[in-house]
Structure 1
Amino acid sequence: MATEAPAQPRAADATAAPAPVAPQRRPWIVRRLRELVGSGGRVIGLDVARGLAVLGMFAVHTGVIAYEFHWLEPGTWSELAWGNASATFAVLAGVAVAIIAGRTSIPDGVPLLQARMRILVRAALIFAVGGIIVALGTELVVIIEFYALFFAMSLPFLRMPWWGLAAFGIGWILLMPQVRVLLVDGLRDAHMVDTAIVELALTGFYPALTWFGYTLVGMAIGRAHMERWRVQLVILGAGVVAIAAANLVPLALAPIEDFLLAGWRGRVQGTDLASLLDPEGHSGSTFDLLGSAGVACVVIALCLLTQRWLRWVLFPIAAVGSMSLTAYTAHALVFLLVDGFSADPWSWVRLSVGVVLGCTLWRALLPKGPLEWGLSAISRATSDVSSRAPAGR
């Protein structure tokens, strides 16, 4: 009987698709470096702007800034940090709120609830950090507690579009300085000026009632398509116009200052009414707020416009901005632990270089700063609300 020939193995089909190859995972140091220069989803321009604001506040706290600005004298340009650095920090608080609340997408339903919970928990934790710094008795005027209030005050505005936030922010800046003067005068008559709540809201170095206008401006920037260069140019132009108006309008009003303030003199007692027309930083006037908001817009716009070309140069400053709460707390501890630190003429250089190096090394190893990691973990855990309906409903 004839036997069958053994079956020959068939050749592999030439048209068969090749087996998928697992993508190679980049080394962790490469991933950290890519994130530092803005390739990991972060907007490095915002981190650079926040880092510059933090370093500017260091300059104010160490007393190295000049207190009289002249365009033709570069040695006086440090005066730009006075009032503007902290204002930029407050504007960037609004940008952060808008990012948490969905950027250009207006949240609703469960996402809105989650955003509100995250922002409220962050505000509470930041306020606690600021309270601890103040309780330790540093010589600084700490902005952290006021910064937390800006977060909490933003909750009713989370569903506004960018143009509504911009209009509200401008109106807030124009009106609230006058409202603050009237409120302080009324509370002074009621002997309530010295309470902690009044200090945070009205009489402190960063009064929340007026400074919240910065946060509304920042929310408008964060809600707009700030990744587009046309929007960045609009932000830049708006900042330049605001700076010009804040400095030129008081000059135009100077001849009629007494006439403008005549109606206030019999109504408000014990208040420096001239400060209502003063454009200098921390005067609390409309022109102070408008000019500082303009400086913040210019800084943010320039950082966004140049982030693609300068990210490899500025990533150490971006590292500071990406962990600004940790950097600010660290600098407060330096003032607490080192006696007479601000008396050293090189204190700002030493502090800035130390913080920049420390933040850069930390971010090269880990994705977040220690305080930022705690804020993110706790706020995300508390806002983990399920969007699914209960079973059987």
Structure 2
Amino acid sequence: MVLHQARTDSSQDSSSVDGRARVSGVDAARGIALLGMMWVHIIPAVDESGRTSTAYLLASGRASALFAVLAGVGLALATGGRHPYQDGRLMLRRSGLVARASLLALVGLTLGAVDTPVAIILVYYALLFVCALPFLSLGARALVPLALGWSLLAPVLSHVVRSSLDESGGGNPTFGTLTDPQGLLTELFLTGYYPVLPWMAYLLAGLAVGRLALDSPRVAAGLLVGGAGLAVLSKAASWALLYPAGGLDRIVGSPALERRLSTSLGGTTPTTSWWWLAVSGPHSGTPLDLLHTIGTAVAMLGACLLIARRAAPLLRPLIAAGSMTLTLYSSHVVALGAAGDSADRAALLTIHIAVAVAFALLWRARHRRGPLETVVSATERSIRTLWARRSRSPSRLER
């Protein structure tokens, strides 16, 4: 679950029309990701006719990937935007992000105790933020090939390592799982629903995008067209490998497994064959899945940036929801757990979305950030202030 990062960088004036359009576009994309995840969480994977539901066909894997890419964009904006920090400001941001990640993990572990069907992402995101710290000083020219290489190679490494590991237990991380740190880290990095090793590709791609001139309509259009092209090409490559090349016959042994290719593979693929790396199904974590979902995420961001320049009022509900995703996501998880097995899933989805958007609009009328976002932001600022004072202390300077 992506969190709302710093809204501006020092090189750009957020009071300008272009700056406001950039912030609004990013927030609107976050709002779409949030609603997309709600859609998948509530609507069943298979509809009454036995086919994969529209929710899963459109949003499964793509909504969470959009969150992850936007997390990288937020990190880039918080660390200088087009001109990444190279001085003491970068160290201050890193210290604040460690505090942010710690709070994310605490919220995620707490939500893990809720009896809910949702695979909670917050602990994974906390670890992703920490793993992104070494890359925050890089510019787009370094980050683009790094993200591409990570997308191609990390799934291969994961495939090799997981071949000697047991499958994930499938549960959400909780405070209880802290008693087995090795098992927890294995699940978070490799075998869980949002494995950090391949998912770092999303953070690196988002960092690269956040280093671009997002207030430029030409850049926004390039993201839309380029992202859509990448998404189509990666799906076409997967289709060619699975069907004309015969890869599907080598990996699918049952109708249930074939169904998972269009719904969710639970974060990882089996390691019984190298042909599994050719699939691009939701939550498969393969090279073609990562490239496809990076493409759809980048295209969605480009579209939101363009619309925000011309018709921002139309995006107002999405912008409001996207500005407080931690609050709304956490509330959604708790409410879904309390709802239990509701028969009318469409009505339940309508209620969740309506309440989330209404609350966001009302709250934003008086406050800049959501309730949980305010706590996280205040803590992050406090840690940065303490770090700045420590770095300027005489005893430190004498060393």
The two structures have a TM-score, normalised by structure 1, of 0.80
More displaced 10-residue stretch of structure 1: 176-185 or 235-244: 235-244
Is 1:166 aligned to 2:154, yes or no? no
Note the alpha carbon deviations across 1:68-113, whole angstroms, 9 max, x for none: xxxxxxx847621010000000000101111111112221231011
Cα distance in structure 2, aligned partners of 1:370 and 1:341: 28
Largest Rg, 1 or 2: 1
1:58 maps to which residue?
38
Note the alpha carbon deviations across 1:345-371, whole angstroms, 9 max, x for none: 321111101110011111112111111
Note the alpha carbon deviations across 1:269-294, whole angstroms, 9 max, x for none: 95354431111211221111111110
Equivalent position amino acid for 2:139 in 1: P
More displaced 10-residue stretch of structure 1: 161-170 or 295-304: 161-170
Pairing of 1:31-70 with structure 2 (within 5 A): 43-63=23-43
Is 1:245 aligned to 2:268, yes or no? no
Equivalent position amino acid for 2:382 in 1: A
Return the offset for 1:380: 0.8
Asked if the contact 1:48–1:314 (Cα under 8 Å) also holds between the matched residues in 2, the reply is: yes
Asked if the contact 2:22–2:215 (Cα under 8 Å) also holds between the matched residues in 1, the reply is: no
**Residue 202 of structure 1 is aligned with which of 190, 215, 218?**
190
More displaced 10-residue stretch of structure 1: 382-391 or 40-49: 382-391
Return the offset for 1:308: 2.1
Consecutive aligned runs of 4 or more in structure 1 exceeding 4 Å deviation: 37-42, 64-67, 386-389
Note the alpha carbon deviations across 1:97-135, whole angstroms, 9 max, x for none: 111111122212310111101111111111111110002
Pairing of 1:170-319 with structure 2 (within 5 A): 170-188=148-166, 195-254=183-242, 255-257=244-246, 271=272, 273-319=274-320
1:115 maps to which residue?
93
Asked if the contact 2:19–2:215 (Cα under 8 Å) also holds between the matched residues in 1, the reply is: no
Is 1:375 aligned to 2:376, yes or no? yes
Give structure 1 stretches of 5+ with no counterpart: 1-33, 68-74, 263-267
Is 1:361 aligned to 2:362, yes or no? yes
2:60 maps to which residue?
82
Asked if the contact 2:21–2:215 (Cα under 8 Å) also holds between the matched residues in 1, the reply is: no
Return the offset for 1:193: 12
Equivalent position amino acid for 1:124 in 2: S
Asked if the contact 2:43–2:345 (Cα under 8 Å) also holds between the matched residues in 1, the reply is: no
Asked if the contact 2:43–2:55 (Cα under 8 Å) also holds between the matched residues in 1, the reply is: no
Asked if the contact 2:21–2:305 (Cα under 8 Å) also holds between the matched residues in 1, the reply is: no
Cα distance in structure 2, aligned partners of 1:270 and 1:286: 14
Instruction: From the superposition, tell whether residues 39 and 291 of structure 1 become closer, same or farther in structure 2 (CA, over 3 Å).
Output: closer
1:127 maps to which residue?
105
Aligned-pair identity (%): 34
Cα distance in structure 2, aligned partners of 1:87 and 1:269: 21
Question: SS at the partner of 1:202?
Answer: helix
Instruction: From the superposition, tell whether residues 61 and 196 of structure 1 become closer, same or farther in structure 2 (CA, over 3 Å).
Output: same
Cα distance in structure 2, aligned partners of 1:40 and 1:308: 9
Asked if the contact 1:117–1:382 (Cα under 8 Å) also holds between the matched residues in 2, the reply is: yes
2:128 maps to which residue?
150
1:15 maps to which residue?
none
Note the alpha carbon deviations across 1:170-219, whole angstroms, 9 max, x for none: 11111111110101113349xx9992111111111111100110111000
The two structures have a TM-score, normalised by structure 2, of 0.79
1:347 maps to which residue?
348
Equivalent position amino acid for 2:313 in 1: W
Cα distance in structure 2, aligned partners of 1:175 and 1:364: 46
Cα distance in structure 2, aligned partners of 1:269 and 1:362: 45
Equivalent position amino acid for 1:100 in 2: A
Asked if the contact 1:184–1:193 (Cα under 8 Å) also holds between the matched residues in 2, the reply is: no
**Residue 139 of structure 1 is aligned with which of 117, 140, 147?**
117
Equivalent position amino acid for 2:195 in 1: P
Return the offset for 1:66: 6.3
Question: SS at the partner of 1:187?
Answer: coil
Give structure 2 stretches of 5+ with no counterpart: 1-13, 48-52, 168-179, 252-268
Cα distance in structure 2, aligned partners of 1:329 and 1:272: 37
Cα distance in structure 1, aligned partners of 2:374 and 2:18: 19
Residues paired across the two proteins, number: 347
2:254 maps to which residue?
none
Cα distance in structure 1, aligned partners of 2:212 and 2:235: 27
Cα distance in structure 2, aligned partners of 1:321 and 1:219: 18
How much is the aligned-residue C-alpha RMSD, in angstroms?
3.2
Is 1:322 aligned to 2:323, yes or no? yes
Note the alpha carbon deviations across 1:228-273, whole angstroms, 9 max, x for none: 11211222222122112211112333444569x89xxxxx995354
